[in-house]
Structure 1
């Protein structure tokens, strides 16, 4: 079903394609972190739908609490969602801090409080230390880093575990978690294929505008073979690859310049039977650990459900596909045997006034990363945040259903 085309700060997707390479697969020895697959929004169990609605409402109230706390000079050290408790956990340093927050919180049932050792500022400073060490190559084998809010630590991605002793000169040992890099990959496969002139393919995330040009946004590494190459959807040429990010950047993103506005279809369909529309995008980039997200993987016919596992991750891609340090990327457990580079990463939102579900774009799917932490291997999907995609590509508007 077609809908009116509206250029706003949000969007939709013509689901397109992806690179024909293998994904990091989980074995019995690997902790792949549970995720669910649905054929449509309607097929999501009612209990889970209600949980998603409640989480979205809680997030708005908790976000308001954090903003009010900041305006009153009250520190919040971290926030994450506890799926077992169905609550957001607000981290504080002491009971005095907790008392001040409780004094301004009108919705006590939304949150639990957790006393942590390290402040947000201390962890950010440790993270900056790791960033400096990685950029300067002072410690070889340091490949990435992020602040893990839930564990109240900084995580260092390393090629070999023996660099830990060097890292503890810059980060307190009890504030440091070491993650050994197992694999990092830009390549995953699936999607309704649009193919490049040389036969390669990717998945479209959404349609937007770059000045006066209509564009389809996808992963930047999809355009590695060169800008100017033509792309097809089925047998129809839809346009040419116009731009991709590279080097040190906050997004693996690019766009195809469309040769006709007829290729833009703001539709209700993400996977077969799905009635949700694209209703907006996360301009703030304020996902937190534990938030539910969805990846559209139409090649397999599934809507992949997972949760945000980490935010603010930096990683040295070592020049692959022209990328050096990718920063402020996100990790999710929405990993399947057939993912899709360039696919939209979304949240679900129920809009009572319109009596419908809407997808809110969170970012663009890019690839996989596999890390070994304390002997257990974790397989993640990684994606670029919407706000970074929008800014690095210099987009001026996006298409969204009315």
Structure 2
């Protein structure tokens, strides 16, 4: 299917298709072929997929070209990564292994995304692979939702059902993030059949986002749809608004969150799972002020033993991570890390706005992806989770391939 899609896109673009695979194209094709199965099983294998694909994609000329095109954005992202890894030195948690994983995944992810969009042939392959991944994953997740998770139960019969739900919930989160690039690519081709397919993909993704007790996925889908439509109408401005809004929140989260949570009637109206998040965020914001400049160190969240009471729940102040990337960055890397992250978002958004300012489909795909990532990152998963880092780079590659269509 992937090769068929690649051939169709090559024909549509009126350009010849290369015969045979390079190491980079083989790695990209393999990643997209395997991604749906890994996603349904919990997405935890994404880091290894990205690592292998990225290492096979490395070429000195590609590194130089990528750096010349985006030196400031790449430099800021790598500086932020280096600062986060350096914070291992003052973390109370034995975070050297996690620091090494982050230090490997970010540059390798950049290399994969650069290679996957390096030329017209790679963009066509990535576009076809991204679309195939989304369609196959929709089918697999629909089966899991409708038939009580048969794939996960067969693969892990002795695992607690609650853990299996979390597995498919992560798979659905991956789908909500990567679907925007696939939809944008279909719209870029145009034609009634492509528009109908795009609508079907979007509707199916929306339905999946409502499954598996993961309300955050549905919120992310709604945010992504709003950003997608906004950027399609106003490409340059839409991208700037989405990236600027996320950058602003990354800077003000520890100060704005307590103001929001001071509304007790709002907190009392929240479902228990969200009230628990509110309790965690309130605790984290207070702890950030203890070491605001450099933070408590990478993965310091895992060492918190203080207890908090949220309604009938007695729980740790931070169970594993704060369920907010913005607050986790502040807590573990301090104001320095937060400023670097916000600067990367702002300048990255500026670069995207200039690159996609005349391309509605690409701008919409970028804005929808970034908005979905922003929502999920700020309410669900740990900032340093390897599968989540890999998800963002895979989504970036798919968005970067939209022009090929």
Structure having the larger proportion of residues in helix: 2
Give the structure-1-normalised TM-score.
0.25
More strand by share: 1
Q: TM-score, length-normalised on structure 2?
A: 0.24
